[in-house]
Structure 1
Amino acid sequence: MTAPANIDGATLHSIELEQAILGAVLVNNSVFDIIESKLTASDFFEPLHCEIFDAIAKVRASHGVVTPALIIASIGGDANQVIVEGMTRRRYIARLAAEASVPRNALAYAKQIREFADRRKILATVETMSFGIQGNQPAADIAGAGIELLDEIAMQASAGSTPQVSLREANDKSLARMQHGMQNPGKLAGMSCGLRGLDSKTGGLKRGELFILAGRPGMGKTALGLCIARATAEAGEPTFFSSLEMGDVSLSDRSLADCAFERNRPIPYYDIANGTLNDAQAQRVIEAARQQRDWPLKIDPAPGLTVSQIAARARRHKQTLERQGLRLGPVIVDHMHIVRPSNRYSGARVNEVGEISAALKGLAKELDVPVIALAQLSRALESRDDKRPTMADLRDSGTIEQDADAIIFVYREAYYLERSTGANAEQEAARVDRLIDAKDQLEAIVAKQRNGPTGTVHLFCNIACNAVRDQEGI
């Protein structure tokens, strides 16, 4: 692309840098090993340089060594093509090698070439958005496409800044964590989710990890997710809740009912929504609102977002917190199966969900926060007698199982008991007796945990009040 008149081309590319890095690789293959993860052929401004770098990568992969002769041979008949008067491709490649000197910091050269490439991508995005305006496209579509493209640059830059560490350095970190645990017995490795049983099983919410809360509709996924959000915010951990399914007022109703919950005097969230309360109940809800007023829980109720858009919003919130000297805590996404996929795998649902899952894991690592993603399960389990979920019930994609650090299935037997009837009087009596026992029970089934045990945690749950508690605390 050509630079706009008001932008100096020197801020967008450097032919000299590109020639230097290509020549260095041709005379010293170890340079390629240093820069391989930082550059792709498309990062070069000059088309011939793109072609040469692509040939270098292919020759390195197939032969293990790169020489000017091998690169010229890989180009084949095109090597004799004249690129400027008196200069063929063959002679140009030979000249790059002949005039090369290995820079002391090849990595810095590669990073600057990538920086130029990112700037050109930003300009191209601006141009695309300008065409959208000229074409009278909806502003939301233009902005959405721009955010997705720009966020890709931001995420790649963040991933590129993650330092490599030696085994010795990693060992030092492991020992420091071990010593901290020995000096602080009973202290969680991560943030408390507000439920002792679940904390004991998982070790808390750890930064950089992806947690999946999965279940069929009505099982209490949002109830558990919102209770965790409320507990972390109450503990002072700034929490970001991306609510793709439910509006902010609906979440507020549930949070107020949860905060005001008393087992013998429950206030269902739908009574708060409808205003069907007496004065005493209203006073309890007002007091719950007062308690929550200063909790650092940010709700983003925007629907139809892509992972890139969620990431951009969470990243902006993180930056705002950092300016205040604070650190972002959990990011909760409700729920991942209604995250809008990118156009990359349009129509291929398995690949779309896999891309979303991988991006959420990437977000956890990039922002160094726990990401808790709620997920739907396949309706196939409804046909089984035992409807407790298994890994096979994860909907649309097995890559969720690969990407997640922990998978917790949410199951309420009472949901199914309430919707069934016994075949005869004896079975109906047994169903009612079992319903009485299971009415306020929720099973959090830790089906996968990369760094800990699996098993079932039994919790108390009043679904009408969005209240989830440890059983012994009720």
Structure 2
Amino acid sequence: MNALVTTQGADGYVPELEQSLLGVLLQGNGLARVQPYLNEQHFRAEDHRIIYRAIQDAFERSGTTDVRVVAKLLPEGFDFEFKTRHGLGIHQYLARLIGECVHTVASIDKVAKSVVEQWARLAFAEQMELASIAARDPSASVGKLIKTAGTVLEELGSGVRRSASRRSRMSAGEAGDAAIAAAREAMKNGAGLTGVTWGYADVDRITGGMQRKDLILVGARPSMGKSSVMMSTALRAARKGHGVGILSLEMDAAKLIARGLSDLTLATQNPVPYVDILQGRMDEAGLACVEAMNQRLHTYPILVEEAGGNVFDIRMKIEAMIERFERNGQPRLECLMLDHLGFIEPGAHYRGNRNNEVGEITRALKDYAKEYDIAVMLLSQLSRQLAQRDNKRPILSDLRDSGNIEQDADVVVFLHREAYYLERTEETDTEKENERIATLAACQNRLEFIIAKQRNGPVTTINLWCDMAFSAARNGERYAG
């Protein structure tokens, strides 16, 4: 590379972008604004990478990126090597970078983003060339080629998105303005609701709703009501005007929505259990009721996707949902629900180590929640080991072998139905059997909503009303359609 090359390279590389950015940084400040997303790898020229490393070193040691400090921190012998390659001493080059820079610190974000985008564009071209070569191998696996390409694109996209215009830094006063605006909105709602409604008044009162930017884990053993709670919540959130996206990775869309239709019929004169919907065991009145509920469902801002995939695929589905809601003139996507964690494919990097695989998935979902300003509800099936305990209610320690779920999740909810276990036991002692039957009758429709972790609220247990035949959950002992 010519030290002061001013023409676009044959491969599409424009060195002036990197030179302008270094020139701004060498004026003494501005690094703190771009360092969160700008790495040395984003510089195409190795000389520029070395200079940027020295700039970072200077800032770390002295809090400034002044050219005089930076020059002293360049590697020994770099000046000689630079002059040999370019016919110009490094000190002269640094001076020219500052002297010929037309930008100021005020525009440093724009310049830095241009450098990142150039890196992504050129890296994309190189990866596509490699993919083209690999695809010409007759023994190549199409599935593997697609997954590899997806991983590469996700890495490139992540680098670009981190440099996007989404604000991550604000003054204390600005943050206070945001907090007051949220409080005003909650006061307007009259129920302290600052997020997306759960559909259960008692839960909303304790949590303020599902907060956007939060990762919310709902964990339970099979048949505890995870899908029922998810679907009931989706219906009631959508009815309140919140856009909801559902990635049903375990159950196909028709079966999932059959649960929702059954839920909706519960408040009518012709309630229909969801198994009867699936098997067509309805009379004409029941069918008419289900069809009426389906017409109502057409008006709800809910999108369902049943295809699986990895975290890159999930990002693409989020963006497709956002676009479709906007195209249809519906409310924006505010909540994404995934059923469930076990069906999300891990990336290639950690494959084989389940703890690390889960950590990669939960970190990505938390990032998506923040990036797209949505609440992400992630359902997770808990280990069968807890069913061996006398007290079968889940606790946080049940997540210890599941990567970083407890750390990454902002809210952890466990679901527990004592009736499920009581229905499957029978005591030989008459007195104990009578006690079991009485206890079962008392808790038949009780669903324990256990808030085991909440960053911004109390941990507690809330008793919900449920009817698994209709895949329905309601507030406390009461329910409404």
Same fold? TM cut 0.5: yes
Which whole-Å CA distance do the structure 2 matches of 1:255 and 1:184 have between them? 26
Match of 1:308 in 2: 312
CA RMSD, Structure 1 to Structure 2 (Å): 2.8
Once the two structures are superposed, the pairs formed by residues 159-170 of structure 1 within 5 Å of their partners are: 159=162, 160-163=164-167, 164-170=169-175
The partner residue of 1:122 within 121, 124, 127 is: 124
Shift of 1:35: 2.9
Match of 1:43 in 2: 42
Deviations 1:209-234 (A, max 9, x none): 22111111121111111111122223
What SS does the corresponding residue of 2:145 show, helix, strand or coil?
helix
Equivalent residues of 1:195, 1:469 under 8 A apart: yes
What SS does the corresponding residue of 1:242 show, helix, strand or coil?
strand
Alpha-carbon distance change, 266 to 182 in structure 1, aligned in 2, over 3 angstroms: closer
Which whole-Å CA distance do the structure 1 matches of 2:11 and 2:265 have between them? 58
Match of 1:411 in 2: 416
The partner residue of 2:176 within 155, 171, 176 is: 171
In structure 2, runs of 5+ residues without a counterpart are 1-7
Alpha-carbon distance change, 9 to 464 in structure 1, aligned in 2, over 3 angstroms: farther
Match of 1:80 in 2: 80
Deviations 1:190-216 (A, max 9, x none): 222222222222111222222111111
Match of 2:52 in 1: 53
Name the amino acid aligned to 2:76. G
Name the amino acid aligned to 2:132. S
State percent identity of aligned pairs: 32
Shift of 1:108: 2.3
Equivalent residues of 1:211, 1:405 under 8 A apart: yes
Which whole-Å CA distance do the structure 2 matches of 1:461 and 1:265 have between them? 18
Which whole-Å CA distance do the structure 2 matches of 1:285 and 1:322 have between them? 29
Alpha-carbon distance change, 130 to 41 in structure 1, aligned in 2, over 3 angstroms: same
Shift of 1:158: 3.8
Shift of 1:411: 0.6
Equivalent residues of 2:183, 2:194 under 8 A apart: no
Alpha-carbon distance change, 440 to 69 in structure 1, aligned in 2, over 3 angstroms: closer
Match of 1:344 in 2: 349
Alpha-carbon distance change, 358 to 180 in structure 1, aligned in 2, over 3 angstroms: same
Equivalent residues of 2:116, 2:159 under 8 A apart: no
Equivalent residues of 1:209, 1:371 under 8 A apart: yes
With normalisation by structure 2, the TM-score equals 0.87
Match of 1:291 in 2: 296
Are residue 228 (structure 1) and residue 230 (structure 2) matched?
Answer: no
Name the amino acid aligned to 1:81. E
With normalisation by structure 1, the TM-score equals 0.88
Deviations 1:282-340 (A, max 9, x none): 3322222222133221111012x112211111112202322444411211011123211
Equivalent residues of 2:273, 2:469 under 8 A apart: yes
Once the two structures are superposed, the pairs formed by residues 10-409 of structure 1 within 5 Å of their partners are: 12-26=12-26, 28-62=27-61, 64=63, 74-77=74-77, 79-81=79-81, 84=84, 87=87, 91-92=89-90, 94-97=92-95, 99-101=97-99, 103-104=103-104, 105-136=107-138, 137-159=140-162, 160-163=164-167, 164-182=169-187, 184-186=189-191, 188-261=193-266, 267-303=272-308, 305-326=309-330, 327-394=332-399, 396-397=401-402, 399-409=404-414
Which whole-Å CA distance do the structure 2 matches of 1:399 and 1:188 have between them? 28
Q: Which region of structure 1 is more displaced relative to structure 2, 137-146 or 398-407?
A: 137-146
Q: Which region of structure 1 is more displaced relative to structure 2, 76-85 or 425-434?
A: 76-85
Q: Count residues with an aligned counterpart.
A: 463
Equivalent residues of 1:68, 1:93 under 8 A apart: no
Which whole-Å CA distance do the structure 2 matches of 1:348 and 1:313 have between them? 26
The partner residue of 1:461 within 466, 472, 476 is: 466
What SS does the corresponding residue of 1:393 show, helix, strand or coil?
helix
Which whole-Å CA distance do the structure 1 matches of 2:412 and 2:91 have between them? 53
Which whole-Å CA distance do the structure 2 matches of 1:85 and 1:465 have between them? 75
